[in-house]
Each structure stands twice: as C-alpha cells, then as structure tokens.
Amino acid sequence: MLSDPLNIILLAAAIIIFWKLKSVLGQRTGLERPPVVTPTKPQPELRIIENPEYIPPNPVWQGHAEEGSDLAKTLEAIGKQQRDFSVTSFIAGAKAAHEMILEAFAKGDKAALRPLLSKAVYESFSTVIDQNQKLGHSKVFQFVGAVSTNLESAIIDGSKASISVKFVTEMINATIDKTGATVNGDAKAVLEDTDLWTFERDLTSRDPNWLLTATGE
C-alpha cells in the first residue's frame, strides 16, 4: 500500500535514481564513439572497350571486282540499297538460273521459263520454241558442267540494278529436224559454250528474284 511510509520512501528513491540516470545518459560527455560511417563505393568509370576479336565485314565486291573499278562501285551501291545483297549468293543463283533456263528452253517448257525471264526475253524464247515445234525440230541438250562464272559489268539506275554475267560451260546442245538430221550443234560431242547474260531486279521490290533481261555471246 502507498500509505505505508516505507513504500513511499522506496518509490521516491526509485524516482530520484531514474532521473539521475536519464540526465546522465541523455548528455554527451565527449567520450562517445563516433558514429560508424559506411564508405560509399566509387562509381565505376564508363568506358567503351573495343572488342579485339571483332573483324569488320569485307566489302561486298571483294573477290569479284577490282578495288576502285566501276563494277566495284556499282556493287557497293547495290549493297547499300539491299543490305542483304551478297555477290557470292548472286553468282550461285545466276549459275542455277542459267542451267534451268537452258534446260527449260530445250524442253520447250514455257511455264518454267516465264518466272525467270523478263517479258521481252520470254517472248523471244517463246517464238523460237513455237518455230521449232512448227518445223518439227527437237532439241538434244545435256548440261555437263560450269567452267567459269564471272561478273562483267553492273549498272544501277535509281532502284533498278542490272548485272551482266559471263558463263563458260560445257554441254551437249543440238537441234534435230524431223528426219533426224542435225540442224545445228552436235548431238554427240561435249562443246564449250560462252554466254553473256544480264539479270535485272528492282531493289525496292519484295520479290528477291533477278530476271534475265538480255542474252548474248
């Protein structure tokens, strides 16, 4: 009970002790440890480091034209308009088209020729096929192999590009009349043949195909 004199004295003593501790603990004496400050890590310097393993791509014309030549400059211009243009891929496609067109022409297959030729060249080939059929002529044809395939020239006019390719091939090629006589060529001998063909494409077109627009020897 608080009415007990002893209890009152003990309570008063406790209050006095608490007050003294608070006054001491709440004051700085100069002997306290300084606050711990966590040092900030310096920010790394932003540097652009070149990859020593990076090899810049070769010019699109390298290996197919002489540096500084008109052909090299035109191929470079084509490559700027058509980012995925590759001379190596173009030559591979031209070789395949050359063989396909010759075989389709020998068979008189106009449907196979149509998507590979320009309108003018298709009409010229179609006329010869019709004439052979009217005369009863047939073709003996066998593609033996390619000797060489080289770019001769290239032209770019706006978005239209044309590339001329010289094909040297070996083949058996002859025209036979309805009596079995040879009209031209040789049905039994492998002969070397040279063609100079020009392929054209609109570089802005979604159609990736190059069409044959001119033929010569």
CA distance 35 to 107: 97
CA distance 206 to 156: 18
The first and second tokens of residue 168, run together, are 């040297």
pLDDT, residue 217, reads 79
pLDDT, residue 58, reads 85
Query: In this structure, which topology does domain 70-216 adopt according to CATH?
Result: Nuclear Transport Factor 2; Chain: A, (3.10.450)
Per-residue pLDDT of the chain (217 residues; tens, 9 = 90+): 445 555 555 555 556 655 555 554 455 555 555 555 566 666 655 555 556 666 667 899 899 999 999 999 999 999 999 988 999 999 999 999 999 999 999 999 999 999 999 999 999 999 999 999 999 999 999 999 999 999 999 999 999 999 999 999 999 999 999 999 999 999 999 999 999 999 999 999 999 999 999 999 7
- Three-state SS at 34: coil
What is the CB neighbour count within 10 angstroms for residue 30?
4
- Three-state SS at 93: helix
- Domain boundaries of the chain, sorted by first residue: 70-216
pLDDT, residue 2, reads 47
Q: Which residue has the tokens 């050359």?
A: 98
pLDDT, residue 39, reads 60
What is the CB neighbour count within 10 angstroms for residue 155?
16
pLDDT, residue 185, reads 92
